[in-house]
Structure formats: C-alpha cells, structure tokens
Amino acid sequence: MNLKILSRNPNLYSTARLQEAGLKRGHSVEVIDPLKCDLIIEKKNPTVFYKNRTLETADAVIPRIGASITFYGTAVVRQFEMMNTFTTTTSQALVRSRDKLRSLQILSRSKLGLPKTVFTNYSRDVGEMIAHVGGAPLIIKLLEGTQGLGVVLAETKNAAESVIEAFNGLEARVIVQEYIKEAKGADLRAFVVDGQIVGAMKRQGKEGEFRSNLHRGGTAEIITLSDEEENAAIKAAKAMGLGVAGVDMLQSERGPLILEVNSSPGLEGIEKATGKDIAKTIIRYIERSI
C-alpha cells in the first residue's frame, strides 16, 4: 500500500514509529508536511500539490495534526477524503476533538461520565460559575489549551475568581470543572484502535503537580482497566467518530470520568509504558480497512 503520514516533523517519535511500522509491513510510506501542501479544487479532480509535484493517489493517510495547525491540517485531510483516500482520523472527527466544549457535549449526549463542567459567555457572575461545580478547589481550562498548558487549579474561591476574571478580561474562552480529589493527580490513558483497547497506562503527576501530562514531568505505568473503564473508553472513541484515539479518564467514586478524547495521541508514552507495538496495530487497522 501507499501510505502518507501527515506530520510536520518526520523525526518525532510517533511519526518515526508509524513510518517504521509501515515499512516493516512492506508498504510505501512517505511523511508529508501538511503546511506545505497546496490544495487544488476543481470539478471531479481534487488534487494535492506538494514540493513541486502532484501527489500520486494514496491508499491511506495517517493524520498527525498538531493543535496549532488544526484549520489547515483539517483542510488537507478533507482534500484526501475528496480523493477517496482512507484516513485513520476523518476531518470531521478531527474538528470535533479539537473543540473541547463540543467534545464534552457529544460525550454527555452519549451518557458518559464527565467532571461537572460550566461554560458561559464571559459571565460577570463568576461566583455562580464556581457554585455550579461545587465550589473550590476547581479546574479552569482554556478551550484551546493542549498538553496541560492553559489548565489551572484554583484552590480557593478567591483564586478561582481572580483567574476567571483575568481570562474574561483577555476574552479567552474557558471552561470550569469540578476538581476530583480522589484522583490524586493521576489519570488513565486508554489507547483505542478500531474500537478495541490496545494499551492503557496510568499517568501520575510529579509531586506538587495536579497535571499528569508526561510533557509536564509526569510518570506512566501499565495498568489493567476495569470493565467499566474499558467500556467508557471504547464508547467515547465511538461517540467522537475516531478510529484511533487516546481517551483520558479520571478514576472517581462515581466511576470513570472522561476528561478528553485525543485525535492525535502520542505513541511514546503508551509504547514505553506497555511494551506494546501500538504503531504496528495502527498499520494493521489500515490494512483491514482497505
């Protein structure tokens, strides 16, 4: 098969591992920088022009689209879809996953457990927002934040009011969520491929850090999910329309609570924690789908 990986950097761990896995399976694999693609749109002949050449028809693309290039990256994925190319992440699912508010609404509609969340249009009644999630401590998140950036733990009502008012003054959209104390700064990442859990890890924030992101110095270890956690992760990926997804959950007294469904989950943490060849699993998913 002719595979294209849409990634800005061929040396990134996830990109390199996917290319390696594809080549080992006997496929032709090329890394394409989506920002260097020109999209030619015409009747019955949509094409992608890249580095002074028209890209030959690909059998499948693997989008590794960073949050900062979502708009143009999604357009490139959509162009390949117009060319009848299989994609591990559809353009629609990519757009949905990058909109935190829309994602939470979709997950809520699917009756999945979530931390209680409040979103308002720069409300001046900040005290009411805080009350809606049960008071402080609470979590404040920028809608556009990634990898733990733009996420604040406000431990008191005064601190929460100050942070929310500051974001409102900057016209930065935020959501306010309840703080799940029993999670103790840890979360679960379930890696879902084609409706199956292919790996799971527990991520623990470093001492004094409530965010468990590995990019923020957190640690990861392999974990066996409960049936309830497995079902929640699979259902969340399906609700978002994602064939490949990283589902982040908190363990709480009322069961698993979905934090986020990531459409471009990194492979390094999950492969190192579990010892599993997740990249190969993704390539085999493509093989079954074409």
pTM of structure:
0.90
- Cα(86)–Cα(194) distance, integer angstroms: 13
Residue 27 tokens read as 């496929």
H or E, element range at 152: strand 151-154
CATH 3.30.1490.20 in the chain is located at 117-179
Domain spanning 2-89 has what CATH number?
3.40.50.20
In this predicted model, what pLDDT tens digit does every residue of 4-44 receive, in sequence order? 999 999 999 999 999 999 999 999 999 999 999 999 999 88
- Cα(230)–Cα(223) distance, integer angstroms: 12
Q: Is the pLDDT of residue 253 over 80?
A: yes
Q: 217: pLDDT confidence band, cut at 50, 70 and 90?
A: low
What residues contact residue 36 under an 8 Å CB cut-off, 6+ apart? Answer: 50, 51
What architecture (CATH level 2) is domain 117-179?
2-Layer Sandwich (3.30)
- Cα(111)–Cα(162) distance, integer angstroms: 33
Compare 171 and 147 and report the one with higher pLDDT. 171
- The residue to which tokens 């190319």 are assigned: 85
Q: What is the DSSP letter of 28?
A: E
- Cα(31)–Cα(120) distance, integer angstroms: 41
At 120 the pLDDT is 84
- Cα(201)–Cα(172) distance, integer angstroms: 32
> Which of the following CATH numbers is that of domain 182-263: 3.90.330.10, 3.30.70.20, 3.30.470.20, 2.60.40.3500?
3.30.470.20
How far is residue 238 CA from its own chain's centroid?
Answer: 14
